[in-house]
Amino acid sequence: MTDLLCKPFGTHGKVHEITPQSAGWRYVGFSLYRLRAGESAAEATGDREAMLVMVEGKAAFHAAGRDWGELGERMDVFEKTPPHCLYVPNGETWRAEATTDCTIAVCTAPGLGGHAPRRIGPDGITLTTRGKGTNTRHVNNIAMEGEDCCDSLLVTEVFTPAGHWSSYPSHRHDEDDYPRITYLEETYYHRLNPADGFGIQRVYTDDGSLNETMAVHDHDVVLVPRGHHPCGAPYGFEMYYLNVMAGPLRKWRFVPAPNVEWILKRDS
C-alpha cells in the first residue's frame, strides 16, 4: 500500500487522523468520526481553524462558547443534498453529540483568527454540474475562495456518476507562483455507492518522480502532496469525495497536464 493511501482505523469512533506531521507537509489536516447515537467527540483547535462537515446523520454541537443546536439533514451522503457545516476558529474548542448515527469530517488548516465561528450550509450551497460527457460531475462548494469564511481552508464535495472521471482533465497545484498557480496540499475522503465498490485515483508528476495509481474503497483517504490527481468511477459504482485544500495563499489556481490541456481548451 502506498503512503498516499490512508485506510480507516476501523468502522467506529475516530477512524482517520491525518496531521501535517503524519502527511509530511505543512498545512492540511483531516480527521473523521463515525459515531453512534448518543456518542460524542470533542477537540481543541489549538493554532488551527476547523471546518466540521456533517457527511451524513445528525449531531448537536457546542463550539466557541455557543450552543449551535442540531446540525445535519441527509442520512446518506448520496442523497446529494447540501451539507450542514460549522466553522470553528483557532484557539477554540468544539464538542459534538450524535443524535443519530453520523459521520463527521474535521477539516483543518492554520488559523489566523481572521474569521468568527459560523454555520455554513445548507443555505447558500447549491449542487452544480461541472464538465461534459463522461467527465460530468456534481459539486457542493462548502468553502471555496469565493466564500470569505476561512483563513486558510478550501473545502468542497464532489459526486462522480458511475463510469465517469473526476478531478479531470488532470491538473496540479503544487507551486507558489500566483496568479499562474498556487501551492495547495489536498486530501480526498472517498465514499462509494454501493459501499462495496471501488474507484481509482492516480497521483503523478510530469517527470514521473511520483507516479501512484490506487484502488480506493469506501472511507479511504488519499493524500495529494503534489502532482496531478484524477479519479475514475467504474461502471456500476458512484463516487463521492470531500476535498480539503490549504496552502500559503487561499486561492485555487492550477496548471493542467500537458497531454490533456487540449481538452480544457476544447470544452471551455
Checking phi first, is residue 266 left (phi over 0); if not, alpha (psi -120 to 50) or beta? alpha
Q: Cβ–Cβ contacts within 10 Å for residue 194, how many?
A: 10
Domain span at residue 54? 5-267
CA-CA distance, 105 to 16, in Å (whole number)? 9
> What is the spatial distance between Cα 206 and Cα 228, in angstroms, rounded to a whole number?
8
Single out the residue of 90, 93, 235, 251 nearest to residue 183, CA to CA. Answer: 251
Calpha distance 138→126 (Å, rounded): 10
CA torsion sign, 172 to 175 to 178 to 184?
A: positive
CB of 87 within 8 A of CB of 107? no
Q: State the number of CA atoms in the 13 A half-sphere of 124 facing the CB.
A: 12
| Encoded amino acid at 165, one letter | W
Contacts of 78 by beta carbon, 8 Å cutoff, 6+ apart: 159, 191, 193, 238, 240
Using alpha carbons, select from 195, 188, 242 the residue that is nearest to residue 214.
188
What's the CATH code of the domain at 84?
2.60.120.10
Cell of 201: 485515483
How deeply is 138 buried, as exposed, middle or buried, from its count of CB atoms within 10 A (0-12, 13-18, 19+)? middle
d(CA 255, CA 249): 16
Q: How many domains, the chain?
A: 1
Q: Say how many residues make up the chain.
A: 268
pLDDT along the chain (268 residues), means of 10: 86 97 97 98 98 98 98 97 98 98 98 96 95 95 95 98 96 97 98 98 97 98 98 98 98 95 81
Global confidence as pTM: 0.97
Phi, psi of 90 (to 5 degrees): -65, 155
Q: Quick check: helix, strand or coil at residue 78?
A: helix
Angle at 188 between CA 165 and CA 184, to 5 degrees: 100
Q: In sequence order, what are the residues at sequence separation of 6 or more whose Cβ sits closer than 8 angstroms to the Cβ of residue 36?
A: 12, 98, 101
Among 128, 152, 156, 148, smallest CA distance to 26 is for: 152
